[in-house]
Structure 1
Amino acid sequence: MTKRAYNFNAGPAALPLEVLQQAQEEFVDYKGAGMSLMEMSHRSKLFEGVNDEAEQLLRELLQIPDSYSVMLLQGGASTQFAMVPLNFLQQGLVGAYVNSGSWAKKAIKEAKLIGETAIAATSEGSRFTRMPSLEEIVLPDNAAYLHLTSNETIEGTQLPFFPDTGEVPLIADMSSDIMSRPLDMSRFGMIYAGAQKNLGPSGATIVIARNDLIAGSPAALPTMFRYDTHAKSKSLYNTPPSFAVYMIGLVLKWLKGKGGLAAVEQTNRDKAALIYDAIDQSGGFYSGVADTGSRSLMNITFRLQSDELDKEFVRQSEAEGFVGLKGHRDVGGLRASAYNAVPLESCKALAEFMTEFQRKNG
């Protein structure tokens, strides 16, 4: 088999090798049907089984109560930036947002097109190198919900804890850290996440929402933009991204086989520690972008002492089989995205490369 790259892409991102191999085996003939899953009707019993299993695995791994609906939608998490206020931001209420970085700003921009918004907390004054603290969050009296981004992929920051919002529904964009750690779902009114970082290939978006919230979707909303449409039809109102749903199911089985989310979180901490240690022990040769208390386990952002050295790091790393270490075009620098499917061995290899690069260029 061709040697696998050390894949640190930010998304679409690494998938487990075992999952890819199983999908390869089943690609042409799924379960003896004489055709690929990609060729099947989404109304067939075989695909309904795939869809149901993905939902049940999500419920099991995240311990989702029956009072929540699980939806597998299209349009990416960016569509949810609009769907959230369309469904929940009624006249006379305010959408409250935590402004924590690039993705939070995009969500706020969309909400402003639909209704009144308020910034409940922001770390813009710190150039988004940290997440706002829980103490900084101030909710308006007429808040329809509080929206936050649990992990900012571009800046490399992550919320270590979630606020208690009382009667105000907490809504979280978890696109880049869903399934990376256990969650208390009862704290949330809704969470959503694009699949292409920690759950599977691009093309599907997970939405998990409390039933009482989505029951109030405005009647005037177009059918496809209503959460109750998709909840009632078990995500099969229209043709779903069937292959992406199938792949999500395989990834969820893989996560279950790894011991569930508590075990996965520990592995993620071990992986991130290897790279952060290489940064912290470099004597300033490498500098982390995120404040220590807000460091992401998923997206590790760092810089060298000059843009030229950053470019040389990328060039040499690519020659050694590393992929995706160039920082986002909006912020520059370097970024290693160590999602669930990135093996511990890849993070060890990167830490060793960083140490050797410093020895040669320090």
Structure 2
Amino acid sequence: MKQVYNFNAGPAALPRQVLEKAKEEFLNFDDTGISIMEHSHRGKHYEAVHEEAKNLLKGLLSIPDDYEVLFLQGGASLQFAMIPMNFMRPDEQPGYILTGSWSEKAVKEASKFGEVKEIISGKAGNYTSIPEVPSLSQDEYSYVHITSNNTIYGTQWPSFEGIEHPFLIADMSSDILSRRIPVNKFGLIYAGAQKNLGPAGVTVVIFRKDVAERANQGIPAILSYETHIKNRSLYNTPPTFSIYLLKLVLEWAKGLGGLEALEKRNEEKAQLIYDAIDESQGFYSGHAAKNSRSLMNITFTLKNQELTKEFLKEAEAQGFYGLAGHRSIGGCRASAYNAVPLEACEALRHFMVNFQKKHEE
């Protein structure tokens, strides 16, 4: 097998150890003679997987006891609709902070349920940085929604200081489990798994128990958080294989040393590539302002489109996969999620430096 470096933005790289473990157990889980995919979601074997995944996540993220963890389907896109469906009322107005395309999609969905306030937006500056958030009145908004990391533009909230609201909601699909976060600052956190947590198919939702008490009644059962809380995410058949792989990823993360170790490693990986950009004297140009750079998605362009196409062509020939930027903005993007090893980022830096030398001669 040739050497491949997977920088896809999602579905993204999974740890090799996890894939090997899943391969080993694929046909015979826990010595039962059948795959985990064939076990009943209400049987003891899957039940153990489900609970262990929840407990591992609680431990790794230091989730307080007054929070619930749910495993749902539909991705972050379904959460864009479920949140307003559960928490918007005619006499209240939620506030959204726009930092990229996914924030825009969240606002678009919420607007179908009532009036939505755009608190501040970085769109005028082409989403190159996280905007400075104005002081928020505690009772002006029913909830405040942010997107912690922006995969398309390569920006990330460096911290959550300065944004205070009793019901703060965050879409953390592309940077959950990559760094330490103050979970107790948020009323609800949601994340599609296919970047840092596991494969596509399962969405993690973490929220304070008192938040569920605010939810609207009379909405379809499958779209009600209350339904999923009462049924422990087992109201209908969950994506059992995705949750099984999520458990394996969480075990792998714990074995590495948890969030502190992952954060340190992610900072080191991203810095390798950002250094190649910053030291190129303009050969490579980063999209994100330095104070808003993402550790997960490193976005950049070359001097012209022809050179960018050549860069991507040569990169793929050498085993670098997934480096093309999102179709909406073009350029290049290296997604260095948790499972991307340090050596992949070292190899990409080396390729970038050599590509520059070759094309400046």
Settle same-fold status: TM greater than 0.5.
yes
* Within-5 A mapping of 1:1-362: 2-134=1-133, 136=134, 138-139=136-137, 141-163=139-161, 166-362=164-360
Q: CA 1:28–1:288 in 2, change beyond 3 Å: closer, same or farther?
A: same
The Cα of 1:139 is off from its aligned counterpart by 4.8
Which AA in structure 2 matches 1:289? Answer: H
CA contact (8 A) 2:144 2:165 kept: no
The Cα of 1:247 is off from its aligned counterpart by 0.2
SS of the equivalent of 1:148 reads: strand
Which AA in structure 2 matches 1:154? Answer: I
The Cα of 1:217 is off from its aligned counterpart by 2.0
Q: CA 1:166–1:278 in 2, change beyond 3 Å: closer, same or farther?
A: closer
**Matches of 2:162 and 2:234, distance apart in 1:** 33
CA contact (8 A) 1:131 1:159 kept: yes
**Matches of 2:7 and 2:135, distance apart in 1:** 33
**Matches of 2:163 and 2:279, distance apart in 1:** 39
Which moves more between the two structures, 137-146 or 83-92?
137-146
Which AA in structure 1 matches 2:282? Answer: G
SS of the equivalent of 1:59 reads: helix
Q: CA 1:164–1:90 in 2, change beyond 3 Å: closer, same or farther?
A: farther
The Cα of 1:68 is off from its aligned counterpart by 0.7
Q: CA 1:167–1:295 in 2, change beyond 3 Å: closer, same or farther?
A: closer
CA contact (8 A) 1:63 1:185 kept: yes
The Cα of 1:191 is off from its aligned counterpart by 0.3
**Matches of 1:137 and 1:108, distance apart in 2:** 20
CA contact (8 A) 2:143 2:165 kept: no
**Matches of 2:328 and 2:198, distance apart in 1:** 25
**Matches of 1:25 and 1:286, distance apart in 2:** 43
**Matches of 2:35 and 2:342, distance apart in 1:** 33
**Matches of 2:124 and 2:138, distance apart in 1:** 21
**Matches of 2:61 and 2:3, distance apart in 1:** 30
**Cα distance per residue 1:224-276 (max 9 Å; x no partner):** 11111111211111100000000000000000001010110000000000000
Q: What is the RMSD of the two structures over their aligned residues, measured on CA atoms?
A: 1.1
**Matches of 1:321 and 1:292, distance apart in 2:** 28
The Cα of 1:215 is off from its aligned counterpart by 2.2
Q: CA 1:165–1:308 in 2, change beyond 3 Å: closer, same or farther?
A: closer
Unmatched tracts of structure 1, length 5 or more: none
The Cα of 1:168 is off from its aligned counterpart by 2.9
Give TM-score scaled by structure 2 length. Answer: 0.98
SS of the equivalent of 1:115 reads: coil
**Cα distance per residue 1:300-352 (max 9 Å; x no partner):** 00000001111100000000000000000000000000000000000000000
Q: CA 1:41–1:96 in 2, change beyond 3 Å: closer, same or farther?
A: same
**Matches of 1:219 and 1:4, distance apart in 2:** 53
CA contact (8 A) 1:74 1:204 kept: yes
**Matches of 1:3 and 1:344, distance apart in 2:** 18
CA contact (8 A) 2:67 2:208 kept: yes
CA contact (8 A) 2:189 2:207 kept: yes
The Cα of 1:142 is off from its aligned counterpart by 2.9
Unmatched tracts of structure 2, length 5 or more: none
**Matches of 1:288 and 1:294, distance apart in 2:** 11
Give TM-score scaled by structure 1 length. Answer: 0.97
- Aligned-pair identity in percent equals 54
**Matches of 2:283 and 2:122, distance apart in 1:** 26
**Matches of 1:246 and 1:115, distance apart in 2:** 38
Which AA in structure 2 matches 1:30? Answer: F
The Cα of 1:90 is off from its aligned counterpart by 1.5
**Matches of 1:255 and 1:303, distance apart in 2:** 32
SS of the equivalent of 2:299 reads: strand
CA contact (8 A) 1:143 1:168 kept: no
